[in-house]
Structure formats: C-alpha cells, structure tokens
Amino acid sequence: MRKMLRWVAARKLTITFFLLGLVILLFIFVPLLKMVFSSDPGILWDTLGEGEVRSAIWLTLYAALIATVVGLLLGVPLAYFLARHRFRGKRFVETLIDIPIVVPHSAAGIALLFVFGQNFFVGKAFNSVGIDFVSAVPGIVIAMLFVSVPFLINSAKNGFEKVDVRLEKVARTLGASPWQAFFRVSLPLAWRSIFSGSVMMWARGISEFGAVLILAYHPMVAPVMVYERFEEYGLDYARPVAVILILVCIVLFIALRSLAYRGEKA
C-alpha cells in the first residue's frame, strides 16, 4: 500500500494528464461505440440490402478515390516543390493550402458552385467537352478534392522534408538526373508519408458532407443520405445508414493506416 502511494506520488503529473486525456478520448469514442453497439444487427443488415444505400456508399468511396488520385498527381509535385525551395511568401502559400480545411464547407460548396457552375468560363469550358459538375459525379469529386487535398499535401511535404537533401545530391554525383534522383531516392523514401496522406485524404473525402450537399445533392453520396433520412424521417431511420457509414470509414481508415505504419518504428 505504501509502495503504491509512493508510485502514485512520483507520477502525479503523468496520472493527471492521463486522466484528462482519457476524458477527450472517451468523448470521441463513446458516441461512436454507443451508436455502433446499440444498433440492431438485423436492421443494419436490412439497410445494407437496400440498393440505394449500397450505391450511395459505393459512389462515396469511388468519388473520394478519384479525388485522391487527382490529389496525388497534382499535390505530390507541389509538396516536393515546397519541401525543397525557400522563397519569400512560402509561409503564406502554406497557410493558403490549409484554408480549405478552415473554410465552412457550405460556403466552400457555394464558391465551387460559382466557378464550376455554368455561369463562369471554367464551368462553361468543361460543359463544352461534356463534363458537368452540378448534380453530377465530377461535382462530388471536386467538392471532395477541395476539402481533402490539404491533408495529402501536408503529409507529403513532411515526408519530403525528412529526406536528407544530401541523398539527392549524392545521387546526382552518381550520374542521376533530377528526375532519376526524385524517382529513385526521394519518392521511395517519402513513400510512407505520401501513402498515409493519401489514406487521410481518401477518408476525409468520404466524410465530406457540406460542400457535396450544395454542389451535388444528387447523385446521392452516403453522408448526404444520412442527412436526408434524418430530415425526412427522423433519427431512428437515419441511424442504420450512419452506423454503416461510420463502420466503413473506421475500418478502412484503421486498416490502411496500419498498412502505412507497418514495419515502421513507433
């Protein structure tokens, strides 16, 4: 007993901080767990049987994946550029990249509608080649891309910053062009960060609700469906779809995240 008191006395800070931290962890998980575990499996199963639900989930995953691929093609080069160059206003550019995270999603949706709708030349240009954004899959993709690409850019940038620039320099002296140095040295070494940023981007794309709601209510993605059912029929009817969606998100996220961390030292 005295020994235990002493153990506690020597760790007052750690124990206090642990308990405070536990409050926030519980705040995050209790709602999610409570919702998942208090659901009737039969109802969940029936809900999954609805073609409408399945196609909404499928559409969500698919659109977010396209957004992530676009993010990889355009965001990774930007991340590398920012990791390797210093210039006046770099901090400003970095702040700008975070802005989609902090702009209210409903307002972001309106801004995107404005540019990609048919009143502005961008929307018109795409329309002339047969791509429509309003109430169409491309609209969902750009809404997801807008809100989720900062996660990939930031993660990839961190990854590239951790690659010692002298490794690239050595590669150059060994006969590699800048491209070869990038593909044979920098990219493999930053790969883990890029992958984990992509997972975050994909998951964040799946989670988007506000911007998609405004840009493309239909075809209906799963987060919008949750809201629609809540609005039209109330909490009990919305819950099964919400549970399924949360489960899909969490399972995918945890699985891919552990893949990204695999073999890495904690």
- Interface with a second copy includes 12 (CB under 8 A)? yes
C-alpha pair distances (Å), 261 with each of 69, 150, 199, 200, 254: 21, 20, 12, 13, 10
Within 47-106, the residues that bind a second copy by CB under 8 A are: 71, 73-75, 77-82, 84-86, 90-93, 95-106
- Interface with other proteins includes 16 (CB under 8 A)? no
Instruction: Tell me the C-alpha distance between 226 and 245, whole Å.
Output: 9
Q: Assess contact for 223 and 214: CB atoms under 8 A.
A: no
Question: Which of the choices a second copy, other proteins, none does residue 125 contact, using the CB cut-off of 5 to 8 A by kind?
Answer: none
Q: Which of 185, 200, 191 is nearest to 256 (CA)?
A: 200
Instruction: Tell me the C-alpha distance between 102 and 224, whole Å.
Output: 20
Residue from 177, 251, 258, 259 binding other proteins (CB under 8 A): 177
Stretch that binds other proteins, among 91-99, 169-177, 195-203, 220-228 (CB under 8 A): 169-177
Residue from 85, 129, 173, 262 binding other proteins (CB under 8 A): 173
Runs of H (alpha helix) within the chain:
2-9, 12-37, 41-49, 51-84, 90-102, 105-116, 121-128, 137-162, 165-173, 178-181, 187-207, 210-215, 222-233, 235-261
Stretch that binds other proteins, among 71-79, 119-127, 184-192, 239-247 (CB under 8 A): 184-192
Which is nearer to a second copy, 178 or 188 (by Cβ)? 178
- Interface with other proteins includes 36 (CB under 8 A)? no
Token pair 């329309």 is at which residue?
127
Q: Tell me the closest approach of the beta carbon of residue 187 to other proteins, in angstroms.
A: 10
Q: Tell me the closest approach of the beta carbon of residue 142 to a second copy, in angstroms.
A: 8
Residue from 21, 50, 170, 233 binding a second copy (CB under 8 A): 21
Q: Which residues bind other proteins (CB under 8 A)?
A: 6, 10, 164, 166-167, 169-177, 180, 184-185, 188-189
